[in-house]
């Protein structure tokens, strides 16, 4: 019995997927029962890095998702449309789906998983987050017996590459980005990466799985790395930190001050979901993740900390994740899995987390309620008493300072770097508003959160 694959896309990930499937020797024996049946592409004439049996390629992708012989549709074409419509059509035609498309899942996950559950088919997405790193399956299965407290990840290789080089070479963001583009580590249009949007797509997926909640993309606070300067990297280094673009989802338990989002359901809690450049203490496990590598740190009860580390992109690593999903589905089909009864650890189970409740389990915490440490860099007039005035303004808004360093003179201006203790973001912002009105303050070039 062979399981027939309809592959949508034969680019970086599609070709890697085909390479594994065409060369099963030494891998799991079940791979020998998986057959690439059709392959959809845009251009039939393009040279391909993989040699396929003749006659598999087509530019008519609809015929693949409706073909009665196809068991599993593997969507590795990317983009929102026609990927979304083809996935939905595949589901409507009773096909299981494997996708690497974080953009489609983070935006249309609701629609896609609802349709899949109704149709009794699986939609698997291991490759959508962290490339080759197995993190989706662990969250769905091995870690699902834990109460997850937080998921913190370096999930975008391009920004981690840029920040790592800024740290080791001391260069400015724009110069290193241009070099990364030349070397092929950054796209010609790097917006999705450097503005944190790709990381937000991935965090929408991770947070949804970790917390049993469908987190919507617009609910994620998102700040990119383009304002991180060489000066900030150098000061962070001196203070014992590395700057990383972190994607964070963290349960924020109710406190008497904050109250609960819904006083009638006591278990209802706040969830922070955010992507921003962050000062990470050098002793933290994520501080040493450098270059294009990704890592995801999960903290839960009772397991404590677990970290997943590896290549977050690339043909082979991402294809490894895609084929692992194909293999999982093939294994279920082979063992006679009843399609009408989806395996509860592999299908989407948000509805079960919410079964005994009306609506959502979590409310997204507003950023002004976030309690964290901050790093801020000020340019001030070089006059006596400036630090005292800064301290008074912070004190007026209950912001206490962990360290204040006058770092140097730039022409007429002095540079002062401040790290706060834990503070409510709303209070910190109010203090900054007051500080901006001081006649000795020229500007505040950087404000960054500290892990």
DSSP for 7-33, written as a single string = EE--SHHHHHHHHHHH--TTS-GGGGG
DSSP for 36-104, written as a single string = EEEEE-S-SSS--SSPPPTT-EES-HHHHHT-TT-SEEEE-S-SSTTHHHHHHHHHHTT-EEEE--HHH
- Give the closest residue to 104 by CA, choosing from 132, 120, 123, 118: 123
Q: Which helix (H) or strand (E) holds 435?
A: helix 425-436
Q: How many residues bind ligand NAP (CB under 6 A)?
A: 25
Interface positions, 372-411, toward ligand NAP (CB under 6 A):
none
Give the x-and-dash track for 131-150 against ligand NAP (CB under 6 A).
x-------------------
Candidate list 202, 227, 282, 389, residue with the active-site label: 202
Q: Which of 25, 43, 263, 335 binds ligand NAP (CB under 6 A)?
A: 43
Q: Quick one: 158 or 278, whose CB is closer to ligand NAP?
A: 158
Strands 241-252 and 269-281: antiparallel
Q: Which of 3, 5, 7, 12 binds ligand NAP (CB under 6 A)?
A: 12
Q: State how far the Cα of 113 lies from the Cα of 101, in Å rounded to an integer.
A: 14
Buried residues in 255-273 as b, exposed as e (16+ CB within 10 A): eeeeebbbeeeeebbbbbb
346: its two tokens: 């592999």
The HSE-up count of residue 393 (CA atoms within 13 Å, CB side) is 20
- Give the closest residue to 41 by CA, choosing from 29, 33, 49: 49
Q: Which span sits near ligand NAP by CB under 6 A: 97-105, 206-214, 279-287, 401-409?
A: 97-105
Q: Which helix (H) or strand (E) holds 380?
A: strand 371-381
Q: Is 127 in the site for ligand NAP (CB under 6 A)?
A: yes
Mapped onto helix, strand or coil, the DSSP state of residue 278 is strand
Q: Quick one: 277 or 317, whose CB is closer to ligand NAP?
A: 317
Q: Is 49 in the site for ligand NAP (CB under 6 A)?
A: no
Give CA angle at 364 (80, 204), nearest 5°: 30
Q: How far is the CB of 89 from ligand NAP (least distance, A)?
A: 13
Query: Is 202 a residue of the active site?
Result: yes
Q: Which of 6, 20, 34, 40 binds ligand NAP (CB under 6 A)?
A: 40
Do the beta carbons of residue 22 and residue 37 sit within 8 Å? no
Q: State how far the Cα of 97 lies from the Cα of 75, in Å rounded to an integer.
A: 7
Q: Which span sits near ligand NAP by CB under 6 A: 94-102, 222-230, 261-269, 283-291?
A: 94-102
Q: Is 101 in the site for ligand NAP (CB under 6 A)?
A: yes
Q: Which span sits near ligand NAP by CB under 6 A: 41-49, 206-214, 215-223, 342-350?
A: 41-49
- Give the closest residue to 313 by CA, choosing from 10, 7, 12: 12
Q: How far is the CB of 424 from ligand NAP (least distance, A)?
A: 37
- Give the closest residue to 393 by CA, choosing from 440, 451, 449: 440
Q: Is 313 in the site for ligand NAP (CB under 6 A)?
A: yes
Q: Which span sits near ligand NAP by CB under 6 A: 77-85, 187-195, 416-424, 425-433?
A: 77-85
Q: Quick one: 61 or 414, whose CB is closer to ligand NAP?
A: 61
Q: Quick one: 47 or 388, whose CB is closer to ligand NAP?
A: 47
Q: Quick one: 84 or 250, whose CB is closer to ligand NAP?
A: 84
Give the nearest residue (CB) to ligand NAP.
Answer: 11
Q: Which span sits near ligand NAP by CB under 6 A: 5-13, 116-124, 289-297, 331-339?
A: 5-13
For ligand NAP, the binding residues (CB under 6 A) are 9-14, 40-43, 46, 61, 76-79, 82, 100-102, 127, 131, 313-314, 318
Q: What is the set of active-site residues?
A: 202
């Amino acid at each position: 019995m062979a399981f027939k694959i309809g592959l949508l896309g034969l680019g970086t990930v599609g070709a890697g997927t085909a390479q594994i499937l065409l060369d099963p020797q030494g891998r799991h024996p079940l791979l020998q029962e998986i057959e690439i049946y059709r392959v959809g592409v845009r251009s039939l004439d393009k040279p391909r890095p993989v040699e396929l049996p003749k006659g598999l390629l087509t530019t008519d992708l609809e015929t693949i998702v409706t073909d009665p012989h196809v068991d599993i549709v593997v969507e590795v074409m990317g983009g929102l449309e026609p990927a979304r419509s083809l996935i939905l059509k595949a589901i409507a035609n009773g096909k299981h789906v494997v996708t690497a498309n974080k953009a489609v899942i983070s935006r249309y996950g609701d629609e896609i998983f609802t349709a899949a559950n109704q149709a009794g088919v699986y939609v698997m997405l291991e490759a959508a987050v962290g490339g080759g790193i197995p993190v989706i399956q662990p969250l769905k299965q091995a870690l699902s017996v834990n109460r997850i407290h937080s998921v913190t990840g370096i999930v975008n290789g391009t920004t981690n590459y840029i920040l790592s080089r800024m740290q080791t070479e001391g260069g400015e963001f724009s110069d290193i980005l241009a070099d990364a583009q030349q070397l092929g580590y950054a796209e010609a249009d790097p917006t999705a990466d450097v503005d944190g949007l790709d990381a937000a797509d991935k965090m929408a997926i991770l947070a949804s799985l970790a917390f049993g909640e469908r987190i919507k993309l617009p609910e994620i606070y998102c700040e990119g790395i383009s304002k991180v300067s060489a000066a900030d990297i150098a000061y962070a280094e001196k203070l014992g930190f590395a700057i990383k673009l972190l994607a964070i989802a963290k349960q924020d338990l109710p406190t008497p001050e904050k109250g609960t989002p819904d006083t009638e359901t006591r278990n209802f809690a706040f969830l922070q979901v955010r992507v921003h450049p962050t000062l990470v203490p050098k002793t933290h496990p994520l501080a040493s993740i450098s270059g294009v590598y990704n890592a995801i740190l999960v903290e839960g009860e009772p397991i404590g900390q677990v970290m997943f580390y590896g290549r977050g992109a690339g043909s082979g690593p991402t294809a490894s994740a895609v084929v692992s999903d194909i293999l999982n589905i093939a294994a279920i089909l082979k063992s006679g899995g009843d399609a009408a009864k989806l395996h509860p650890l592999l299908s989407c189970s948000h509805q079960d987390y919410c079964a005994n409740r009306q609506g959502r389990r979590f409310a997204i915490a507003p950023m002004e309620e976030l309690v964290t440490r901050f790093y801020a860099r000020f340019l001030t007039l070089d006059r006596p008493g400036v630090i005292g005035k800064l301290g008074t303004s912070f004190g007026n808004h209950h912001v206490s300072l962990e360290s204040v360093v006058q770092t140097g003179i730039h022409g007429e201006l002095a540079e002062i770097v401040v790290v706060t203790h834990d503070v409510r973001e709303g209070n910190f912002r109010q203090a900054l508003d007051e500080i901006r009105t001081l006649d000795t303050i020229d500007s505040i070039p950087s404000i960054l959160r500290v892990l």
